[in-house]
Amino acid sequence: MPKLIPIPYLGRLYQVEYAMEAISHAGTVIGVLSKDGIVLAAERQATSNLLEQSLDNEKIYEMNDNVVAGVAGHAADANILINQSRAIAQRYLLKYNSPMPVEQLVRRLCDMKQGYTQYGGLRPFGVSFLCAGWDTTFGFQLYQSDPAGNYSSWKAACIGENFSNAQSILKQEYKDEEAEAGAVGAQMTMDDALKLTCQVLSKTIDTAKLSSKKLEFATITLKAGKPAIHVYTAAEIDEVLTKYESVIKPTDSQ
Amino acid sequence: MPKLIPIPYLGRLYQVEYAMEAISHAGTVIGVLSKDGIVLAAERQATSNLLEQSLDNEKIYEMNDNVVAGVAGHAADANILINQSRAIAQRYLLKYNSPMPVEQLVRRLCDMKQGYTQYGGLRPFGVSFLCAGWDTTFGFQLYQSDPAGNYSSWKAACIGENFSNAQSILKQEYKDEEAEAGAVGAQMTMDDALKLTCQVLSKTIDTAKLSSKKLEFATITLKAGKPAIHVYTAAEIDEVLTKYESVIKPTDSQ
Amino acid sequence: MPKLIPIPYLGRLYQVEYAMEAISHAGTVIGVLSKDGIVLAAERQATSNLLEQSLDNEKIYEMNDNVVAGVAGHAADANILINQSRAIAQRYLLKYNSPMPVEQLVRRLCDMKQGYTQYGGLRPFGVSFLCAGWDTTFGFQLYQSDPAGNYSSWKAACIGENFSNAQSILKQEYKDEEAEAGAVGAQMTMDDALKLTCQVLSKTIDTAKLSSKKLEFATITLKAGKPAIHVYTAAEIDEVLTKYESVIKPTDSQ
Amino acid sequence: MPKLIPIPYLGRLYQVEYAMEAISHAGTVIGVLSKDGIVLAAERQATSNLLEQSLDNEKIYEMNDNVVAGVAGHAADANILINQSRAIAQRYLLKYNSPMPVEQLVRRLCDMKQGYTQYGGLRPFGVSFLCAGWDTTFGFQLYQSDPAGNYSSWKAACIGENFSNAQSILKQEYKDEEAEAGAVGAQMTMDDALKLTCQVLSKTIDTAKLSSKKLEFATITLKAGKPAIHVYTAAEIDEVLTKYESVIKPTDSQ
Amino acid sequence: MPKLIPIPYLGRLYQVEYAMEAISHAGTVIGVLSKDGIVLAAERQATSNLLEQSLDNEKIYEMNDNVVAGVAGHAADANILINQSRAIAQRYLLKYNSPMPVEQLVRRLCDMKQGYTQYGGLRPFGVSFLCAGWDTTFGFQLYQSDPAGNYSSWKAACIGENFSNAQSILKQEYKDEEAEAGAVGAQMTMDDALKLTCQVLSKTIDTAKLSSKKLEFATITLKAGKPAIHVYTAAEIDEVLTKYESVIKPTDSQ
Amino acid sequence: MPKLIPIPYLGRLYQVEYAMEAISHAGTVIGVLSKDGIVLAAERQATSNLLEQSLDNEKIYEMNDNVVAGVAGHAADANILINQSRAIAQRYLLKYNSPMPVEQLVRRLCDMKQGYTQYGGLRPFGVSFLCAGWDTTFGFQLYQSDPAGNYSSWKAACIGENFSNAQSILKQEYKDEEAEAGAVGAQMTMDDALKLTCQVLSKTIDTAKLSSKKLEFATITLKAGKPAIHVYTAAEIDEVLTKYESVIKPTDSQ
Amino acid sequence: MPKLIPIPYLGRLYQVEYAMEAISHAGTVIGVLSKDGIVLAAERQATSNLLEQSLDNEKIYEMNDNVVAGVAGHAADANILINQSRAIAQRYLLKYNSPMPVEQLVRRLCDMKQGYTQYGGLRPFGVSFLCAGWDTTFGFQLYQSDPAGNYSSWKAACIGENFSNAQSILKQEYKDEEAEAGAVGAQMTMDDALKLTCQVLSKTIDTAKLSSKKLEFATITLKAGKPAIHVYTAAEIDEVLTKYESVIKPTDSQ
């Protein structure tokens, strides 16, 4: 994300910075782009035996058939924006009979956010998004947006608590052979991406042992030429964590 | 409920926290999910011989044929939201000729709440809800919502005065064999749920003797494949209290 | 009335508490439910030979054929609400060709009040009501509402100056054989109710001698199966006061 | 007028009290009800040879064929309310083909006033009225209204500067044989009323000699069964003052 | 003008007083009623050789065929009100095919002013008017209005700088034989009125020598039974000043 | 311009004075009326080799075929007003098939400005205009308007930085034989006007040497009975400056 | 850009200055006009290996077929204005079937900006633009606009961080043979312009080595008589940087 310039506006924009601050206490969300899909992973901050985990998707939402989003921040605000985004994507589908391009949806989402920073008598939406999507023009894309309505496109990104920590691990470990040449797409496989995600999670989440209780996972891949979103069950998450135990272990020694 | 992040917004969101504070002085409401229904119990703070108890449902309201809600907070605010929710549920029924799914109704209710936290010149609704409902897709569900418009799904939950106390008892005593595996549904029977509810009430309500004067009870179960809401009469409440006297007694020794 | 929780909202709700404070200086209004009707009595604070008493109903208004209300607080605010309530009740009659149920009318009245506590740029209505009514479903009912829009159902209630004093006398003296069992309806006769009202008035109104100058009386009873509202003339009030002189006398010795 | 309770609302209602204060510096208006009519008299504060007295009705206005009003306070505000009231009365006449009942008109006037005390961004109308009228139901009636929108019915009343002084003289001197019994109507004749008015004026207006320069007079009586409003010319006022010189004289010795 | 009561409203009405203060620094406008017409005279504060005097009517405007007005205060505000008044008068003419009565037009003008003192988010119009007009009912009339929307009818009046000074000279010198008896109309001729106007101007305008550079003059008289407004040219003004040199001279000795 | 009275309004009108202050730092604009046309000249404050001078009319705009305006103040505000004025003039032309009279256009422009000083939530337009125009009724006219919406008609006027300085030179040097008699029109020729303009510019603009880089020039004259506006190119400006070098020289010795 | 006068408005215009301040920390954007086209170059402040550079145009946007813009400031605000500008240009095309003239589009963009500085409850758009375009009337044009809505036409201009530095280099190095004569168009070729751009970038961007990672480039030229916009790929940028290495080198020795 472009460095947020400390803009000394009177009134409104302070609120954006407060919102940013609040998001920096929300559960971490990580997105990693690979050549055949995108991995989204999110940390749940609320964990209780009493929570009905199977129903309660606190952090990851489908926005459209080709877009899945991870959110950090104020859940009620996120609901409003997700509802709106879903409606926008559906209206596009109805009108053009083709799925809405990813950036276009992200842009509409961000324009809504921007409006709430500019008009009096409103507070900005206190929520950041990582949107993972696929369209025929640009393939897999990973966008990050902030409460001010700025967005940018990433190969691997992170929002929420410890995001700067996670970002620096991602920078070190992300493998992108063509990165220097500026070509589109990464050279990691989905397996690499899942492994990297687990590695980052294990170093940023403050817990003795990573488990499906504290995590949500989703992927978007291509199946038969169509984007397929998969939100992991608790069992699947534990399976992934077991598979990449090797990269998770080192946390203990940290 | 997810831990409320102390969001340092200027203006509006402080009001949400004030509303939360107010709710923490309202009469306790407890909800317990069992495999064949849900128990809701609420503490009445206003008790007077002169109150016409049979007419005065202070805490528990039917929202729809398949949803019953317990409220904590500002009663006049609750009335507005319940009226709206009822109308929403009825419009859904009229349009789709099938009862509104529980989460969808809760979400609409929460979106109304969220709006009042974001626009200037309004104060947030000062009320939390425990919504117990049933639909064909997810069976029995228990949702909790706060004044900010956040909601989450629970197996057993508590709002109002002493809610953290009640929450910790629920955690200890709630029996859920499959909880670890993350499966939907609890393994308690309705009898277990009623018993647990009485136990929690006896430890959280500050009174010499629990009686129908200070309590409201409601259940939602399935009768002939259809959800049936039952709001207990004073006599029925006293009957329940007598039945589970054993778990209530220990309060005295506390 | 449920204990008003000192809600620390910024701005609006303080106004509700100020309104409550103001009401506590307004003339007392007492309502007593009996098995065959309801008595309403109100204290006039403004007494002057020059006031045209026969025209000036300061405290008690008919709201509908089946509802009569006593008000405490800001008279001009009360006028607005009474006008609205009358119109609502008439529209109901026109639409359903049956009188509006009492609680439904009270609820509509309270929803209007609630709206004025939630939106900016408005002040809450500075008035409390005691509404005495009858409908076929619940028989005689006595509701009390406050400026915040809360209401509750009572067997005997009091608003205005000295209301806590009056409330405690009512608690002591009110005879309700079935109160413990929570059944609807009281066991007092209208005569008992009138007597109790006089007794309470004599102890709460700060005057040497109760007279029709300082009082308004109204009853709602059933006549030929229909609710009949009777607002007492000065002569009738004095007659009542004479009849129950025995219970009034003790005031002097207080 | 009912004692104005010092309501501690934040914001708006202070404005009402400020308006009341302002009215207490406006020229006195006195109204006296007799068995065959009502006398209105008003003090002009602005007296200058250069004022075109014959055109300049500063204090007394006809509101309808059956209602005449005296005003104390902000003249421009009064104009707005009088215009509105006239239109309301005319619309009523057009619709029902019978003159608008007096209290109904007063109530509409007061509802307008009340609205300006409740909504933000407005100031209350800074004006009190004494409305003298006649209708077939209640005969002659004298209403007083304040800036908050409260009104009450009087046998003799006074607004403006020295109003408490005037009010106490009225109380002493007003003859109303049936006052105790609470019957409608006073026992004074119009002559008695004019005399009493002069007496009160002479004691409340701070001037060496009462004259038509400082006064406005109007009466409403019945002529051939229809209400007749008469606004006195300067000559007629002086004639009245001469006629009742005897009760005016004592002022000097005060 | 009636003495402005120092009304202690919060907010808006201070603004009226500020506007009044501002008007007391504006160029003086004088109006004198005679039995066959009205003289208006105004002081120009801005005098420069470079001003295009023939086009620049700073102080006196025709409002309608039968009304001419002198203004003191904020010129841009005056333009708005004059435009509106002209449109109102023309609409009246169109509708009733007879010129609008003078007081009716003044009242409409004042109602516009009043509105700007009562609603939030507006400032009052910072302008006073002297309106000289003629209609068939009341003949020649001279009205004065202030920023609050109050107006009154005068035989001779003055607004702007030194208005109290001018007013007292007018009081002394104005000849009105029937003033005592309160009859309509003055006994001065137009010549008397012009002379009196010059006399007052010479004593209130702070200049070595009165000249057409600093003055505007207008008259309204009857010509062939119709009102005729005449705005004086510079030459005509100087002619008038020469004619009444005798009453102007004394200024020097003041 | 009439002396701006320091009006002590709360709120809005301070803003007008601030706008006036800002204008007094803007580049000077001078207008000189001659018997056969008007000269407008303006100082550019921004001078850079990199500015595309041929496209960048910073100070002088055509408003209509018969009106050209010079602006001092906030350029973005001026754009809005000029756009509006052009549209107004075109609508007039369309409706009446004759060019809009100059004062009428100026008045509409000023009414727009006035509105922004009276309504809350707006700031006044921070711009003054010198409008030079011609119409068949009044011939050549030069109007000046300020941010408050006041305007006046001048023979020679000046706005912006050093305006009082320029105004006093104009007063001294302006030749107007008939000025005393108040007749319309000046006796200068266009050549005189251009010369005078150069003279004033040389004494008010703070620069070593006047050049087309720092100046804009425009004239309005009659060609074949129709108004012709000519905006000077850089070459033409330099030509004029060379022609009147004699009156410019003295600046150096100042 | 014309020197921004420090306008002391209360409230709104401070916000414009804050916005200006914020822009002075945004990445530099440079525009250079040559005789056969315009070069735009922009500095990216956010550089990360993880950014998907090929999708993320942070600084340069096509506005229309004949206009390309570089932005400095708040990205979310820029998006709104670019969306609007694109729609405006398309509507023009649809209506007139010819591309919108460049200045007309810039003016519409600036009018939108101006509106946000004048109305309450809004904050100004925090973004400046360099718009490079071509139309048949004026050929190639380069406009700069600020948050207040001011714009001006330039041969070479710069916005963002270090803009005054860059501006002074541009002034020194820009070759414009006819500049003195004020003719339209510059005498540089596109090659000269690219070289100059590189030279300025190397002296204003604070980096060890200029690379495509930190830069965006775009040109607008004529191809077959039609405007052609070309946004450079990373490879093309590096190619340009290599080509003009000679003018870039000196930075090191600075």
ipTM of the complex: 0.77
Q: What is the pLDDT of residues G153-194, one digit of tens each?
A: 999 999 998 888 899 999 988 876 554 444 444 578 999 999
For position B12, what pLDDT does the model report?
Answer: 44
Q: Which of A12, A45, A50 to mutate to test the interface with B (most CBs of B within 10 A)?
A: A50
User: Which chain D residues are Cβ-neighbours of E174 within 8 angstroms?
Assistant: 49-50
Segment E104-118 mean pLDDT: 92
Tell me if F29 sits within 8 A of F40, measured CB to CB: yes
Nearest CA to D2 out of D14, D20, D26 is that of: D20
Contact F171 E49 (CB under 8 A): yes
Segment D171-190 mean pLDDT: 67
Low-confidence residues in chain B, pLDDT < 50:
1-12, 179-185, 251-254
User: Which chain B residues are Cβ-neighbours of A211 within 8 angstroms?
Assistant: none
Segment F11-20 mean pLDDT: 68
For position E113, what pLDDT does the model report?
Answer: 93
Q: Which of A12, A20, A114 to mutate to test the interface with G (most CBs of G within 10 A)?
A: A114
> What residue in F sits closest to G184 (Cα-Cα)?
F54
Helix axes C12-23, C102-118, angle to 10 degrees: 130
For position G180, what pLDDT does the model report?
Answer: 47
- Give the Å distances, CA to CA, from B140 to A239, B143, B150, G76: 28, 10, 20, 44
- Give the Å distances, CA to CA, from A162 to A28, B2, B102, C247: 7, 18, 35, 75
Whether B and E touch (3+ CB pairs < 8 Å), yes or no = no
> What residue in C sits closest to B122 (Cα-Cα)?
C119
Q: What is the pLDDT of residues E220-253, one digit of tens each?
A: 999 999 999 999 998 999 999 999 988 886 544 4
Taking chain C (254 residues) in consecutive chunks of 10 residues, what is each chunk's mean pLDDT? Answer: 33 68 88 95 85 76 96 92 95 94 95 87 89 95 93 93 90 71 63 94 84 92 96 93 83 45
By the 10 Å C-beta count (0-12 exposed, 13-18 middle, 19+ buried), G242 is classed as exposed
Rounded to whole angstroms, the Cα distance separating A42 from A218 reads 9
Nearest by CB to residue E54, choosing from F118, F150, F183, is: F183
User: Which chain F residues are Cβ-neighbours of G114 within 8 angstroms?
Assistant: 76-77, 79-80
Q: Which of F3, F104, F118, F119 to mutate to test the interface with E (most CBs of E within 10 A)?
A: F118
Whether B and C touch (3+ CB pairs < 8 Å), yes or no = yes
Contact E155 D51 (CB under 8 A): yes
Beta-strand relationship, G60-64 and G226-231: unpaired
3-state helix, strand, coil in chain C (%, to 5): 40, 25, 35
Q: How far is D158 from chain E (nearest CA, A)?
A: 19
Nearest by CB to residue A154, choosing from G18, G52, G79, is: G52
Q: How far is C54 from chain B (nearest CA, A)?
A: 33
Contact G19 A1 (CB under 8 A): no
Q: What is the pLDDT of residues A2-29, one digit of tens each?
A: 333 333 343 346 677 778 887 888 899 9
Segment G68-88 mean pLDDT: 94
Nearest by CB to residue A21, choosing from B2, B8, B167, is: B8
Q: What is the pLDDT of residues A168-209, one digit of tens each?
A: 999 988 876 554 444 444 578 999 999 999 999 998 887 778
**Considering chain G, what is the average pLDDT of its residues?**
85
For position F50, what pLDDT does the model report?
Answer: 86
Rounded to whole angstroms, the Cα distance separating D161 from D172 reads 19
Q: What is the pLDDT of residues C230-247, one digit of tens each?
A: 999 989 999 999 999 888
Contact C76 D150 (CB under 8 A): yes
Q: Where are the alpha helices (DSSP H) in A60-215?
A: 75-96, 102-118, 163-173, 190-204
pLDDT at G92 over 80: yes
Q: Which of D17, D50, D57, D127 to mutate to test the interface with E (most CBs of E within 10 A)?
A: D50
User: Which chain G residues are Cβ-neighbours of F25 within 8 angstroms?
Assistant: 5
**Considering chain F, what is the average pLDDT of its residues?**
85
Nearest CA to A144 out of A135, A156, A134, A153 is that of: A153
Distance spanning both ends of chain D, measured CA to CA: 27
Q: What is the pLDDT of residues A29-76, one digit of tens each?
A: 999 999 999 999 999 887 787 888 666 667 999 999 999 999 999 889
Q: How far is A48 from chain G (nearest CA, A)?
A: 35
Rounded to whole angstroms, the Cα distance separating C3 from C156 reads 16
User: Which chain E residues are Cβ-neighbours of F33 within 8 angstroms?
Assistant: 52
For position C86, what pLDDT does the model report?
Answer: 95
DSSP run (H or E) holding G202: helix G190-204
Contact F153 E55 (CB under 8 A): yes
**Around Cβ B130, how many Cβ atoms within 10 Å?**
27
Contact C184 B15 (CB under 8 A): no
pLDDT at E164 over 50: yes
Tell me if C17 sits within 8 A of C3, measured CB to CB: no
User: pLDDT band for position D5 (50/70/90)?
Assistant: very low
Contact E51 F155 (CB under 8 A): yes
User: Which chain B residues are Cβ-neighbours of C176 within 8 angstroms?
Assistant: 49
Contact B9 A18 (CB under 8 A): yes
Instruction: Count CB pairs under 8 A between chains A and G.
Output: 110
Contact C76 D110 (CB under 8 A): yes
For position D186, what pLDDT does the model report?
Answer: 58
Contact F52 G141 (CB under 8 A): yes
For position G30, what pLDDT does the model report?
Answer: 96
Nearest by CB to residue F5, choosing from E25, E58, E212, is: E25
What number of H helices and E strands is found in chain E?
7, 10
Rounded to whole angstroms, the Cα distance separating D241 from D198 reads 7
For position F157, what pLDDT does the model report?
Answer: 94
Rounded to whole angstroms, the Cα distance separating D123 from E126 reads 19
Structure-model confidence comparison of residues F133 and A164, the more confident one: F133
**Considering chain D, what is the average pLDDT of its residues?**
85
For position C1, what pLDDT does the model report?
Answer: 27
3-state secondary structure of A229: strand
Q: What is the pLDDT of residues A88-98, one digit of tens each?
A: 999 999 999 99
Whether F and B touch (3+ CB pairs < 8 Å), yes or no = no
For position B249, what pLDDT does the model report?
Answer: 64
By the 10 Å C-beta count (0-12 exposed, 13-18 middle, 19+ buried), C253 is classed as exposed
Segment E190-208 mean pLDDT: 90
Q: How far is B232 from chain A (nearest CA, A)?
A: 25
Rounded to whole angstroms, the Cα distance separating B129 from B144 reads 6
For position C181, what pLDDT does the model report?
Answer: 44
Q: How far is F210 from chain E (nearest CA, A)?
A: 25
User: pLDDT band for position G205 (50/70/90)?
Assistant: confident
For position F147, what pLDDT does the model report?
Answer: 92
Contact A22 B5 (CB under 8 A): yes
Q: Chains near D, with 3+ CB pairs < 8 A?
A: C, E
> What residue in C sits closest to B12 (Cα-Cα)?
C10
Q: Which of B50, B82, B231 to mutate to test the interface with C (most CBs of C within 10 A)?
A: B50
> What residue in E sits closest to D80 (Cα-Cα)?
E111
User: Which chain A residues are Cβ-neighbours of G56 within 8 angstroms?
Assistant: 152-153
Percent of chain A whose predicted confidence (pLDDT) is above 90? 59
Which residues, other chains included, contact G150 with Cβ-Cβ below 8 Å and sequence gap of 6+?
Answer: F74, F75, F76, G1, G2, G110
- Give the Å distances, CA to CA, from B35 to C8, C196, D54: 40, 52, 90
Q: How far is C236 from chain B (nearest CA, A)?
A: 28
